[in-house]
């Protein structure tokens, strides 16, 4: 399985989600799951994650290896699950979908949060905000990633994705 996390510029939320997910998957012994990240815009291609994302993440025990990349239509063929950080990112990704199978892979990460329901909370973009925004971002990402890892373990990922797709 290949999971891709996607935000706007691929320097704050999606590399943070990628790092948290890699760490939690390793802890769970789910070695067969690959994780990558991208952004819907081309603002930061090739750049490392934002310094606040890295410092907060490293303080929580996460490692960062990726550089910013832009999401493209061919990523639908590479990824089995595409996790958007907010509704705007989700709309941008879906605009690139060429088939129903592509659309079926897209869901917001917040769909896996402990408080998810019919109203999925977005993970707000902390770019340009004080460090506290990055702390809140990680708190939300960790909660949602824990739900995602549980869904992978109990085989309910498709159920969650289908339920959210029905609400679109």
- Whether 168 has a pLDDT exceeding 90, the answer reads no
126-167, pLDDT tens digit by residue? 999 999 999 999 999 999 999 999 999 999 999 999 999 888
Assigned token pair, 167:
């609400």
Q: What percent of the chain has pLDDT over 90?
A: 94
| The predicted structure's pLDDT at residue 165 | 87
pLDDT beyond 90 at 83: yes
Tell me if residue 154 is catalytic.
Answer: no
Nearest C-alpha neighbor of 7 from the set 65, 82, 63, 75:
82
Report the alpha-carbon distance of residue 15 to residue 50 in Å, rounded: 9
User: Quick one: average pLDDT of 33-53?
Assistant: 97
Assess whether pLDDT exceeds 80 at residue 68: yes
Domains along the chain with CATH numbers? 2-167 (3.40.50.2300)
Catalytic site residue from 12, 13, 102, 143: 13
7 is catalytic: yes
The mean pLDDT of the chain is 96
Tell me: the pLDDT tens digits for 112-134?
Answer: 999 998 788 899 999 999 999 99
- Candidates 86, 102, 125, 143; catalytic one: 125
Question: Hey, CA dihedral for 161, 162, 167, 168, is it positive or negative?
Answer: positive
Give the residues across from 4 on adjacent strands: 36, 82
pLDDT of residue 166: 86
12 catalytically annotated:
no
Catalytic residue chosen out of the listed positions 7, 12, 102, 108: 7
């Amino acid at each position: 399985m290949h999971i891709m996390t996607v935000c706007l510029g691929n320097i704050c939320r999606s590399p943070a989600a990628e790092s948290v997910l890699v760490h939690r998957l390793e802890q769970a012994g789910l070695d067969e799951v690959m994780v990558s990240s991208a952004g819907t815009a081309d603002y930061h291609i090739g750049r490392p994650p934002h310094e606040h994302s890295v410092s907060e993440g490293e303080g929580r025990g996460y490692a960062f290896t990726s550089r910013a990349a832009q999401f493209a239509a061919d990523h639908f063929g590479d990824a089995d699950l595409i996790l958007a950080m907010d509704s705007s990112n989700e709309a941008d990704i879906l605009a690139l979908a060429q088939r129903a199978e592509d659309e079926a892979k897209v869901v917001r990460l917040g769909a896996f949060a402990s408080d998810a329901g019919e109203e999925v909370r977005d993970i707000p973009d902390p770019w340009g905000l004080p460090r506290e925004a990055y702390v809140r971002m990680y708190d939300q990402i960790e909660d949602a990633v824990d739900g995602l890892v549980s869904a992978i373990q109990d085989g309910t990922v498709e159920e969650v994705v289908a339920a959210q797709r029905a609400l679109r």
